[in-house]
Amino acid sequence: MAATLTSTGPARPRKLLASRRIRAGILYALPVIVYLLVLFVYPIFSTLFLSLKNADGSLTLHWYADALTGVNLSVLFTTLRISAETALFSLVFGFVLANAISRLKPLLAGLAMLIVVVPHFISALVRTYGWIILLGDKGLVNQGMADRWFPGAPYQLLYNEIGVVIGTTSVMLPYTVLLLYGVMRGVDRRLLAAAASMGAGRVTIFRRVYLPLVAPGLASAGLLSFILSLGYYITPALMGGPNQTMIASLINQQVMKQNQWNGAAAEGVILLLLTFAGLLLVKLVSSMGASAKKRSAS
């Protein structure tokens, strides 16, 4: 009795207010939802349907079989290989750089972060062009350094995998540095001090305390640069040779040069699936990291 009395009183206007807030929410969210449904979700699904259709409209897996044989299969392997090499180098460079920056005084650290962030906002095309100038036969690297200190210069640093990995790594590096810097700043220095007070040497502290704490961050940073490299082709197309063709480049060629939309769609779906697998791994690693942190805290 008392309960019904109290609930009929103030509940109704509150409910009214809540429903108004829900209606306002839906109304305000409408532009972004409609926009992305029409220009993002629908195009992705039409890509998926196209990859499964024959010229006469019947269903087929032909385009996937085509994507996974011969030259197309080797493009897939090249993409995985270059992405893995890029991820490895940007992870190692990113780890060293983020670690060094996290030890700097605020002003110097800010300055160093500026050198990391500013290139990130300069078109990858422009930065790739910078590498083409740098790594050419008469470029700064060959003339300025190799010629002086190493015999046998000029070295072929362009239009092969060396050039591609150098260029792509410099494009992916800002992502890993930013991610790892955040992770390293989050490490509780008192844990390191505690280990030292118990007599652990610096190598032991690094291996047994620091590394396990940053490991999930390292894994996600590596996976992120791997995923980003999978769909990338600006630098490989400009700095590589025919053996460095990547999936994204193949999609472009199939649409622009061969008018082969179905094949391009199948390649796109394969790329999408690889990306989803990578993202799933990132999620798994970060949830593992969170549970590890909880365990060490308890």
Partner 1 sequence: MMELRSTLAGRIVLTAVATVILLFLALPIVVIVVTSFGSNAFGSFPPEVWTLNWYRVLFADGSKWPAALSLSVLVAALSTAFSLIIGVTAATALTRSELPLRSAVYALVLGPLLIPQIVTALGLFLLFEPASMLGSPLAIALGHTVLASPIAVLILVATLRGIDERLEDAAASMGAGRLTIARRITFPLAAPGMIAAAIFSFITSFDEFYISQFLSSVDTVTLPVQIYNSLTFDIDPSVTAISAILIAFAILALALVALVRWFGSGRQNSLLSVETATGIATPGGETV
28 binds partner 1 (CB under 8 A): yes
What's the CA gap between 284 and 111, in Å, rounded?
Answer: 34
- Measured from the CB of residue 74, what is the shortest distance to partner 1 in angstroms? 19
What residues numbered 153-192 form the site for partner 1, per CB under 8 A? 170, 173-174
Q: Where are the beta strands (DSSP E) in the chain?
A: none
81 binds partner 1 (CB under 8 A): no
- Measured from the CB of residue 10, what is the shortest distance to partner 1 in angstroms? 18
- Comparing CB distances to partner 1, the nearer of 149 and 298 is 149
Q: Which helix (H) or strand (E) holds 175?
A: helix 161-185
What residues numbered 108-137 form the site for partner 1, per CB under 8 A? 112, 115-119, 121-134, 136
Q: Judged by CB under 8 A, how many residues of this single chain contact partner 1?
A: 81
- Measured from the CB of residue 90, what is the shortest distance to partner 1 in angstroms? 10
- 31-58 burial by CB neighbour count: b if 16+ within 10 A, else e? eeeeeeeeeeeeeeeebeebbbbeeeee
- Comparing CB distances to partner 1, the nearer of 174 and 222 is 174
What residues numbered 209-268 form the site for partner 1, per CB under 8 A? 230-231, 233-234, 237-238, 247-248, 251-252, 255-256, 261, 264-265, 268
- Comparing CB distances to partner 1, the nearer of 116 and 219 is 116
- Measured from the CB of residue 140, what is the shortest distance to partner 1 in angstroms? 5
35 binds partner 1 (CB under 8 A): yes
Binds partner 1 by CB under 8 A, chosen from 60, 99, 160, 286: 99
What's the CA gap between 98 and 116, in Å, rounded?
Answer: 10
Check if the beta carbon of residue 237 is closer than 8 Å to that of residue 159.
Answer: no
- Measured from the CB of residue 230, what is the shortest distance to partner 1 in angstroms? 6
273 binds partner 1 (CB under 8 A): no
- Measured from the CB of residue 96, what is the shortest distance to partner 1 in angstroms? 6
Phi, psi of 221, rounded to the nearest 5 degrees: -65, -40
Cα–Cα distance list, 101 to 166, 176, 177, 212 (Å): 22, 13, 9, 20
Give bridge partners of residue 53 from the DSSP assignment: 59
- Comparing CB distances to partner 1, the nearer of 45 and 74 is 45
The residue whose two tokens read 């036969």 is 137
What residues numbered 37-56 form the site for partner 1, per CB under 8 A? 39-44, 46-47, 50
